[in-house]
Structure 1
């Protein structure tokens, strides 16, 4: 490969015969190197491809204000995540998670508090990613000697899930907001305050996430619950009507049809919660 640009002592850009432009990282890999010189992959601790032009520019800009030590720590962090999940994470995590954690740690050192109102819902939705985020926070504490607050674990979880699924983090956030909006509608309609640690709430949130995934991927179940739907409509009219209200909110936000069978499942969840 030929060196195209030396970004700093530990990161450089090279032209690869198959992947075109690649990022090579490794301790001292860029020190004393000149543009146009040849370099072997054996010299790099790792390499990755930023396929999109926008991501390439974002990463280059990132390196201008993030110190080399932190870049090295984050590359090691991403290595640990890939080994844990046994997959290659989408390359956008190099930009997204590095940028996010750099500024988060900066705010922590300035004594600013980090709050995350969606922490519990994030843990319920992505338990494996959440467990990995907890491990990363402990590891960063040892590496950088900084205590990262628990609220930050939720944000790291979303970045990990985004890199695993190649879904935009803004889309994942929108779904979390949608669920919280529906929970608020439930509390207002049933005139209850839901205990976030209640098992029925945990089941409801997991159901919402699974339902959203099915709607997005258009994996609709067969609607063969007409008899049960009529029974529930007669027995629990308030919960049944509320279920349809929630379905309409989902349809409006996701801009996709939500199958009627969803009303059956939601009515049962709502009935359990209404007993509070």
Structure 2
């Protein structure tokens, strides 16, 4: 930020933060120790005291973040920003701005819980780690940064919760945000059906396993949204697969029954076809 910038207070949030307008009349959030102390709306901020300015494109997200800033200590806001910057490099996907709100809020609550001696366990933590390794790596780094900065002792469970916030923020469609936990559950359920059917473990480093899990991620999203592939007439092809890949086909049918019972979602012949192909690749060396 240039020293020539001119910041006028619109609303002081607390002694250390304000909503202000800059020289282009853009509304920004400014933070710094004591920047609004003794100042009223309409007065200018001492630029030398400003440590951080934030601008979010989405107005609603900006408002939510502003509400958070009132209660959240500045060092926690900074930690969240550091983690988000790390995630942008590590994950390399576009993240929805809502991550600023969700992660800052999550860190604030997690630190509070930790100081009160309440540690939440995450039953899916190792599944999140397996299915979303990059996001879990961000979660692990986040836990390290938070523990150091806030003098608390968060564990792997928290790394998985944080990973889920990032997975959700990768969704371009807002209706898919907040589905990461459910998606992980469905992937795990389908994977367990295949493991039990073939009574085997998988080589999780293999390309076929990676393809299978990637397919299940999108499949799970479709299940949760009640969306289907545009179904072609795949019946002839299915008959061929049924003979050629009898066991993978039966296994896919087990998944079909399970998903139908539990999620009230009908797997179409196209879905069945793709599942069968992926499963047959996965188990071809058994």
- TM bracket, shorter-chain basis: 0.7 to 0.9
Cross-structure match for 1:170: 178
Gaps of 5+ in 2: 1-6
Matched, 1:264 2:276: yes
Q: 2:242 aligns with which of 218, 233, 245?
A: 233
Write the distance in 2 (CA, Å) between the matches of 1:19 and 1:133: 37
Write the distance in 2 (CA, Å) between the matches of 1:157 and 1:218: 27
* CA root-mean-square deviation: 4.3
Matched, 1:181 2:192: no
Q: How many residues align?
A: 270
Q: 2:68 aligns with which of 52, 62, 78?
A: 62
* Secondary structure, aligned partner of 1:13: strand
Contact 1:24-1:46 at 8 Å conserved across structures: yes
Cross-structure match for 1:125: 131
Write the distance in 2 (CA, Å) between the matches of 1:162 and 1:271: 31
Gaps of 5+ in 1: none
Matched, 1:151 2:162: no
Cross-structure match for 2:3: none
Cross-structure match for 2:4: none
Q: 2:216 aligns with which of 200, 208, 214?
A: 208
Matched, 1:51 2:63: no
TM-score normalised by structure 1 residue count: 0.72
Write the distance in 2 (CA, Å) between the matches of 1:221 and 1:45: 51
Write the distance in 2 (CA, Å) between the matches of 1:67 and 1:123: 30
1:207-246, Cα deviation, whole Å (9 max, x unpaired):
312555799898889999966x545412553531331453
Cα distance, 1:272–1:16 mapped onto 2, change above 3 Å: farther
Write the distance in 1 (CA, Å) between the matches of 2:112 and 2:269: 43
Cα distance, 1:98–1:182 mapped onto 2, change above 3 Å: same
Q: Report the CA distance between 1:258 and its aligned residue.
A: 7.4
Write the distance in 2 (CA, Å) between the matches of 1:222 and 1:89: 34
Cα distance, 1:84–1:197 mapped onto 2, change above 3 Å: closer
Contact 1:247-1:262 at 8 Å conserved across structures: no
TM-score normalised by structure 2 residue count: 0.70
Write the distance in 2 (CA, Å) between the matches of 1:240 and 1:41: 67
Matched, 1:108 2:117: no
1:168-204, Cα deviation, whole Å (9 max, x unpaired):
542222322322333455467x385x65886689544
Q: Report the CA distance between 1:28 and its aligned residue.
A: 3.8
